[in-house]
Structure 1
């Protein structure tokens, strides 16, 4: 898996999963974008950081931190809090905490080190702009000047950080990783140092972390894994190490190895929304969709609580990872049939980002595209689980928002499919086709948007065909949707297309009389979407058609493990 799955581009303000949609005519540039999706928040710069004097320390962010060169207990407490915020990927808040520590003790060299470290490159793709790099170098040099009372190891950490910001740009990441690695090797049981070194190695690769078989594709990945596994052997309850380990193993050949750590992360940092969210990365990869949903329901609530307690600049809607938490929760709810919680998240997403409905302003197109793609999960929730009144109340998006209009049409189409009204479903599918014909999808991601829209058009065409009993037409429509989705890996972070369209294809194959083909298709997709309950329902029906009662009963049992929704049907698979 590409390391860039953890890197956000400069215009993106929310975590995005591996995109699985593109038109068949997509350009090479577009396909390159598809292979480098965004996650974990938009990049922040040193200029984003607001004043710190009135910053409030919210407890419950874990136990990370270490003694530094200050005799002021308040400064030490704020330094530790800055470390905890950094490992919670609250990068701007981390910089603010370190700056508050410096206000309390202007002579604390390591407090300056913390400020410089927190504003620099991170796995979200932030801290790489010119202002952050220049400010980071200036502050790191201040740290070296001030650190007379720091330990020799801490002065080495300051020198390593200066390497990150100076010299030849192409070698900075490698020099910083190597410098921190030397310190880690001399202090192998210092988990704080180990986490920083592992993080540096994870940032170093320019290409893939993992090959197509889930094996390490870069020595930096192997070394980061060694460091984190040793750190977790020394301190198995260290939140920073667990956070990094989840990210590192998520796309490996064995994401389960982080499961036990992830299951206790929320208890270790109960107020840190991103750390409460983080286990859902592993939960999704191993097919625990209910847990992925609830982790993010809790994370969204914690974002709101942090806003009430700490009043961060911009409030909850400005939190870099808030939309990602909602998106992940909606994805889990759709897969698990979690109607109640899912609709609550959908309502909040649409209320929190009302600008999605209006035509974009100049310069915001890329940012808005991703937010609209995330909104597709909200629309899917309304369509799959909402009442007729809820669906009817959905406002029609502005004509300049064809992607939002696609989601809106899809919601109405899914709701019509639940009513068994194939004519209404076809009207919504045709409306999406008309949007594509009008060629209103503009910008550098136009191909991407068109593929996204066509996929949902074909899903609705398949739904209508299933209702009408035209199973060959359903196979053709769902087959096209699956072909679009197959242009990139489907499962994960969460997927931008909320479900595996291959399961709809399998349902259509089964309805057409091809039970063996349906079984093969389901068994294939379960490798990418493990434990998908609706896929197991389709498999149950296929096994019944094949006359294998024992296999059918086992598939039905497994369908119930992750499903908390109502009755299932092939027409809605």
Structure 2
């Protein structure tokens, strides 16, 4: 199980909730999301009510759509665009596109179906609020009322969608998935139906995978079968690939999605989220450079879309822009991507300059931005970082952490210790004793403190103290499975522990620790660097050479040092 300390995507999904949510509710929700880590970041409601008359159709957001009950070519085009946007997880823009289609042909049943579908539940956790559900039900009933010209299959799709929004709430997801499955079985060559059905089963499952990466719900087994059968027939369908990446990410074989992920950006070159999506697979299998660049490109596409289409709220209002930045920063930290990483870090801190004290999600995500400055920023850049307000204690932790990492690079033991002490003092801040995610936040503070204590001890030549500090930090981090989506604590602290063990003279223990952590953080270049040093100390020169070679595969940074591992 991945803990909330490690799974950044889960944190983003939970901590967007209002601060008034009771602690027990928040903790329970966190556990549920940890065990079912399917989302890319909380999307919220897509029912913005924004006017559609001036909406711009941006090309290149993928393939999708099908012939519907309209003779109006513009309505058909906007319907198809809505389908593409929905598979690109541009939920609000998808709703707008379907509403645009409805305005062009008010008698179009499937245009109303599209609006109802896009308003409803999605893998980003949106569409579950009462307003979205009520509006979606009305649109689905409009579709049934207008369905005279729709095909029999499309009328069945409309009836299935009504099940999603009506009747006993506890059975809605299963009723919808079951009905869609029946339709899909009668039309085995329809790629869209297959994707809709797999999506429905994925949303129905309460837990996707067990600790061994095996399906924990028959719905997941069925979804996997549907997607793999569909990909065998249509290996370049963007919507199917998108779902497959999500579904395989935490399975026992995430590598299965690599060939599909590698082609997704080409299939949807203007769709920010689809350009981002391969990074879920890349990060999971240890391709950190590719994960970084996928998101560098996705961030650029967010800005381009804003220039071309001027969506409501601009870039700041894009629910997944922060996720793209965070994912890119995570890849940059692991790959040593200083240049691109610092651009992303600056982008994060300037895009979200005013953070609400209630928005724990954004406070936590900022840790990677500060970490990038600490690991790669110049002394002038680090000194220029403004200290966050006292109302943002988590960001203050990250600010101190950045200064401590920068001091460690400069070899200033006293300065590193001073930042660790400043973090220790913040552990008494009242907000860390109460409120949502209290255990996560308390762990976050102590980990940050112990890492800097370990850095200072390594610089001072006190290997025993370094082992103690890093072991405690790794213990907290290790409450769950590591790796995968960029975590809030950006790297495997076990590699620092391994470096400290090596400094203490226990090369065998250092080697064992690195070999162990590479199961969760495959291809981590800095861990291979530590491994090479351990193998050399053990007299295993061939193994040391191999580890040094592997350390260069995913590393684009400068020289490595044991006291910064």
Category of TM-score, reference length = shorter chain: over 0.9
Equivalent positions of 1:514-553 (< 5 A) are 514-553=506-545
* Alignment pair present for 1:140 and 2:144: no
The corresponding residue for 1:309 is 308
- Kindly indicate whether the alpha-carbon contact (under 8 Å) linking 2:417 and 2:456 is maintained by their aligned counterparts in 1: yes
- Kindly indicate whether the alpha-carbon contact (under 8 Å) linking 1:180 and 1:196 is maintained by their aligned counterparts in 2: yes
Q: CA RMSD in A?
A: 1.7
In structure 2, how many angstroms separate the alpha carbons of the residues matched to 1:9 and 1:377? 17
* Alignment pair present for 1:472 and 2:464: yes
Equivalent positions of 1:186-205 (< 5 A) are 186-205=186-205
Give the structure-2-normalised TM-score.
0.95
* Alignment pair present for 1:571 and 2:563: yes
- Kindly indicate whether the alpha-carbon contact (under 8 Å) linking 2:13 and 2:41 is maintained by their aligned counterparts in 1: no
* Alignment pair present for 1:375 and 2:370: no
Classify 1:348/1:218 alpha carbon distance in 2 versus 1 (closer, same or farther; 3 Å). same
The corresponding residue for 2:546 is 554
- 1:487 deviates by 1.1
Equivalent positions of 1:356-505 (< 5 A) are 356=355, 360=357, 365=358, 368-441=359-432, 442-505=434-497
- Kindly indicate whether the alpha-carbon contact (under 8 Å) linking 2:420 and 2:450 is maintained by their aligned counterparts in 1: yes
- 1:518 deviates by 0.5
In structure 1, how many angstroms separate the alpha carbons of the residues matched to 2:14 and 2:506? 48
* Alignment pair present for 1:96 and 2:99: no
- Kindly indicate whether the alpha-carbon contact (under 8 Å) linking 1:52 and 1:99 is maintained by their aligned counterparts in 2: yes
In structure 1, how many angstroms separate the alpha carbons of the residues matched to 2:469 and 2:459? 13
Equivalent positions of 1:161-310 (< 5 A) are 161-206=161-206, 208-310=207-309
The corresponding residue for 2:503 is 511
In structure 2, how many angstroms separate the alpha carbons of the residues matched to 1:317 and 1:440? 27
CA deviations over 1:483-535 (Å, ceiling 9, x no partner): 01011222111112100000000000011001000011000000000000000
* Alignment pair present for 1:33 and 2:15: no
SS at match of 1:487: coil
Classify 1:49/1:549 alpha carbon distance in 2 versus 1 (closer, same or farther; 3 Å). farther
In structure 2, how many angstroms separate the alpha carbons of the residues matched to 1:31 and 1:185? 36
- 1:309 deviates by 0.2
The corresponding residue for 1:155 is 155
- Kindly indicate whether the alpha-carbon contact (under 8 Å) linking 1:337 and 1:566 is maintained by their aligned counterparts in 2: yes
The corresponding residue for 1:128 is 128
- Kindly indicate whether the alpha-carbon contact (under 8 Å) linking 2:46 and 2:119 is maintained by their aligned counterparts in 1: yes
- 1:211 deviates by 1.0
Give the structure-1-normalised TM-score.
0.94
Long gaps (5+) in structure 1: 14-25
- 1:45 deviates by 2.4
In structure 1, how many angstroms separate the alpha carbons of the residues matched to 2:14 and 2:108? 32
In structure 1, how many angstroms separate the alpha carbons of the residues matched to 2:285 and 2:46? 37
The corresponding residue for 1:18 is none
The corresponding residue for 2:20 is none
- 1:445 deviates by 2.0
- 1:539 deviates by 0.1
- Kindly indicate whether the alpha-carbon contact (under 8 Å) linking 2:14 and 2:26 is maintained by their aligned counterparts in 1: no
Task: Give the total of aligned pairs.
Answer: 551
- Kindly indicate whether the alpha-carbon contact (under 8 Å) linking 2:15 and 2:360 is maintained by their aligned counterparts in 1: no
Greater displacement, 486-495 / 101-110: 486-495
In structure 1, how many angstroms separate the alpha carbons of the residues matched to 2:467 and 2:442? 21
- Kindly indicate whether the alpha-carbon contact (under 8 Å) linking 1:506 and 1:518 is maintained by their aligned counterparts in 2: yes
- 1:28 deviates by 10
In structure 2, how many angstroms separate the alpha carbons of the residues matched to 1:498 and 1:318? 25
- Kindly indicate whether the alpha-carbon contact (under 8 Å) linking 2:160 and 2:176 is maintained by their aligned counterparts in 1: yes
Classify 1:28/1:69 alpha carbon distance in 2 versus 1 (closer, same or farther; 3 Å). closer
CA deviations over 1:272-327 (Å, ceiling 9, x no partner): 00000000000001000000000000000000000000000000010010000000
SS at match of 1:543: helix
- 1:36 deviates by 2.3
- Kindly indicate whether the alpha-carbon contact (under 8 Å) linking 2:81 and 2:97 is maintained by their aligned counterparts in 1: yes
In structure 2, how many angstroms separate the alpha carbons of the residues matched to 1:176 and 1:438? 47
CA deviations over 1:429-451 (Å, ceiling 9, x no partner): 00000000233434222332121
In structure 2, how many angstroms separate the alpha carbons of the residues matched to 1:227 and 1:12? 32
The corresponding residue for 1:16 is none
In structure 2, how many angstroms separate the alpha carbons of the residues matched to 1:478 and 1:423? 18
